[in-house]
Amino acid sequence: MAPGGGFCVKAVESHPPVADSSTVPTTSKSNTTTKRSAVNVLGKRGIRSNNGVYELLECSVCTNLMYPPIHQCPNGHTLCSNCKNRVLNCCPTCRRDLGNIRCLALEKVAESLEFPCRYQNLGCLDIFPYYDKLKHEQNCRLRPYNCPYAGSECSVTGDIPKLVAHLKDDHKVDMHDGCTFNHRYVKMNPREVENATWMLTVFNCFGRKFCLHFEAFQLGKAPVYMAFLRFMGDDNEAKRFGYSLKVGANGRKLIWQGIPRSIRDSHRKVRDSLDGLVIQRNLALYFSGGDRRELKLRITGRIWKDE
C-alpha cells in the first residue's frame, strides 16, 4: 500500500462548495507580456471553460482554483491546502489518508496557463499568468469595495454608488452636501465606554464621497474619543485631498490636519493607527464644561482639494 494510503475511519463532511468567479477564455500565444487585454472574453461570472486542464485546477472540496501547495491523495484526488486542513487529512472523495503528497505535475502545468481577472464583469479586461492572477486580484483597481459602516460586521460589497445607497437605505446614515462640517456629539455617561462606533456621516464634496467617523473606544485602561475621515475611493485619489478637524473650549483647542484614508483600509486599521483627531477622556470632559458628568463635544472641520 502506498504511503498515506490507509482508509479514514470516518469521512469528514465537507463544507458546501463555493464557486470560483473566474472565467477562462481561449487565449492567443501572440502576446508574451505578463498582462494582456482580454478579447472576446466571456462576461458572465461563474462560467467555466470546457478545457479539462482548467477544471483539474479546481479544488474538489471548495471548487476554487488551487495554488501551491496542491495536495493529492494516493488515488490522485487533489485539493487545496486550506481544504486539506478542513477535512482532517482525509480525502473526501475516496476516504484515503491524504498524507503529505504534493501534486508537483499539476503545479507545473499551471505555470503555462493564463486566466482573466475575476473582476472582468466590473471592467477589468486583463489576462494574467496563472500564478500572477491571485496577486493582481488582491489589488485590482476595479475590485469591489467593502461597506465602510463600522457599527456592525456588514458583508455588503460593491462600487461607490451602490455603497452610498446601501449606507443611506440600510444603515440610515446621514448624507450632507458641502466641504465643511460642524457636529456636536453628546453622551450622557462618558465613563461607560464600549468599543462601538458612535456616528458615521457621509459628505458629498468635490463630486466625491467622504465618511466622517466619530467614536469612543478603550485605549489601554482609559477611553478615548476619535474622529477621522475616510475617502470612498482608492488611495491614489485620496491623496489629492486634505482635511482638518478641530475641537476645543475654555480657551483651548486641538487641531488635526491630514489626508483622508481610503476605504480600502478597514475602519479598524485606521482607528488602531490613531490616524485622526484623538481626544483623551479627561480633556474631552474639560472641553465639555459643566459638572463633567456629560460629554458634549463640538467638532468642526473642512475638506479641501490639492491642485
pLDDT in tens, 195-241: 444 689 999 999 999 999 998 888 887 788 899 999 999 999 999 99
In 198-227, which positions are buried (b, 16+ CB within 10 angstroms) versus exposed (e)? bebbbbebeebbbbbbbbbbebeeebbbbb
Mean predicted confidence (pLDDT) in 157-170:
95
**CATH T-level assignment (fold) for domain 51-112:** Herpes Virus-1 (3.30.40)
Q: Which of 16-30, 69-83, 181-195 is predicted with the least confidence, judged by mean pLDDT?
A: 16-30
For the segment(s) 145-305, the CATH number from 3.90.180.10, 3.40.50.1370, 2.40.50.140, 2.60.210.10 is 2.60.210.10
- Long-range contacts from 127-133, C-beta under 8 angstroms, 24+ separation: 127/25, 127/27, 127/35, 127/36, 127/37, 127/38, 127/41, 128/34, 128/35, 129/34, 130/57, 130/65, 131/67, 132/34, 132/35, 133/22, 133/65
Report pLDDT for 217.
Answer: 84
Does the predicted TM-score (pTM) go above 0.85?
Answer: no
What is the distance between the alpha carbons of residues 112 and 70, in angstroms, rounded to a whole number? 16
What pLDDT score does 37 carry? 41
Specify whether the CB–CB gap between 239 and 293 falls below 8 A. Answer: no
DSSP result, 46-83: TPPPS-HHHHHTB-TTT-SBP-SSPEE-TT--EE-HHH
pLDDT for the residue 185: 81
List the grid coordinates of 12. 469528514
Q: pLDDT tens-digit profile of 79-133?
A: 998 999 889 889 989 999 988 999 999 888 888 888 889 898 888 998 888 888 8
Write the secondary structure of 165-194 as one string of H (helix), E (strand) and C (coil): HHHHHCCCCEEEECCEEEEEEEECCCCCCC
* Average pLDDT of the residues of the chain: 80
Q: Which of 48-52, 147-151, 303-307 has the highest mean pLDDT?
A: 303-307
Under DSSP, the state recorded for 14 is: P
Residue 292 amino acid letter = R
Q: Are 25 and 116 in contact (CB under 8 A)?
A: yes
The confidence band for 257, taking pLDDT boundaries of 50, 70 and 90, is very high
Residue 292: is its pLDDT beyond 70? no
* pLDDT tens track for 54-73: 788 889 889 888 888 999 99
> Are domains 51-112 and 145-305 of this chain identical in fold?
no
Measure the CA–CA gap between 123 and 145, rounded to whole angstroms.
Answer: 14
Look at residue 28 in the predicted model and tell me its pLDDT: 38
Closest CA to 282 of 254, 304, 244: 254
For the residues 41-56, what does the mean pLDDT come to? 50
Taking residues 15-33, what's their average pLDDT?
38
Query: What residue spans define the domains of the chain?
Result: 51-112, 145-305
| pLDDT > 90 fraction of the chain, expressed in percent and rounded | 41
**Residue 183: pLDDT over 60:** yes
pLDDT band at 32 (very low <50, low <70, confident <90, very high): very low
